[in-house]
Amino acid sequence: MKGIRNIVVLTGAGISAESGIATFRGPGGLWEGHRVEDVCTPEALAADAELVHRFYDVRRAALATVVPNAAHDALARLDAEWPGELLIVTQNVDDLHERAAAKRMLHMHGELRSALCAACGSREAWSGDLPPGSACGACGAGALRPDIVFFGEMPYEMERIEAALARCDLFVSIGTSGAVYPAAGFVQTARHYGAETLELNLDPSAGSVFFAESRMGAAGVLVPDWVAEVLGWDGSTFRPGRS
Ligand code: NAD
Ligand code: ZN
Domain harbouring 28, CATH code: 3.30.1600.10
**Which residue owns the Cα nearest ligand 1 atom 26?**
12
- With H, G, I as helix, E, B as strand and everything else as coil, classify residue 39: helix
Question: If you measure from the C-alpha of residue 144 to the centroid of ligand 2, how many angstroms do you get, rounded to a whole number?
Answer: 7
Sequence-separated (6 or more) residues with CB below 8 Å from residue 90: 10, 11, 12, 15, 97, 105, 106, 107, 108, 109
- Which of 99, 128, 148 terminates a domain? The answer is 148
For ligand 1, what atom is nearest to the CA of residue 205?
9
Question: If you measure from the C-alpha of residue 149 to the centroid of ligand 2, how many angstroms do you get, rounded to a whole number?
Answer: 17
- Which of 148, 175, 207 terminates a domain? The answer is 148
How far apart CA 240 and CA 212 sit, in angstroms, is 9
How confident is the prediction along the chain (243 residues), in pLDDT tens digits per residue? 458 999 999 999 999 999 999 888 766 667 778 888 889 999 999 999 999 999 999 999 999 999 999 999 999 999 999 999 999 999 999 999 999 999 999 999 999 999 999 999 999 999 999 999 999 999 999 999 999 999 999 999 999 999 999 999 999 999 999 888 999 999 999 999 999 999 999 999 888 999 999 999 999 999 999 999 999 986 554 545 443
- 17 shares its domain with 29: no
- 80 shares its domain with 58: no
- 210 shares its domain with 222: yes
**Domain residue limits at 61:** 22-65+110-148
Give the angle 59-140-56 at the CA atoms, nearest 5°.
10
- 48 shares its domain with 75: no
For ligand 1, what atom is nearest to the CA of residue 178?
25
Residue 68 contacts residue 11 (beta carbons within 8 Å): no
Question: If you measure from the C-alpha of residue 124 to the centroid of ligand 2, how many angstroms do you get, rounded to a whole number?
Answer: 10
- 26 shares its domain with 38: yes
What residues does 115 pair with on adjacent strands? Answer: 124, 146
- 122 shares its domain with 231: no
- Work out how many domains the chain is built from and give that number: 2
The domain that contains 208 carries what CATH number? 3.40.50.1220
- 28 shares its domain with 132: yes
- 173 shares its domain with 99: yes
Residue 4 contacts residue 238 (beta carbons within 8 Å): yes
How far apart CA 95 and CA 212 sit, in angstroms, is 30
- 96 shares its domain with 27: no
Nearest to residue 180, comparing CAs of 150, 202, 158, 204?
150
Pocket of ligand 1 (CB under 6 A): 12-14, 16-18, 21, 23-25, 31, 91-94, 109, 175-177, 179-180, 201-203, 205, 218-219
- 115 shares its domain with 206: no
How far apart CA 68 and CA 174 sit, in angstroms, is 15
Residues with catalytic roles: 109
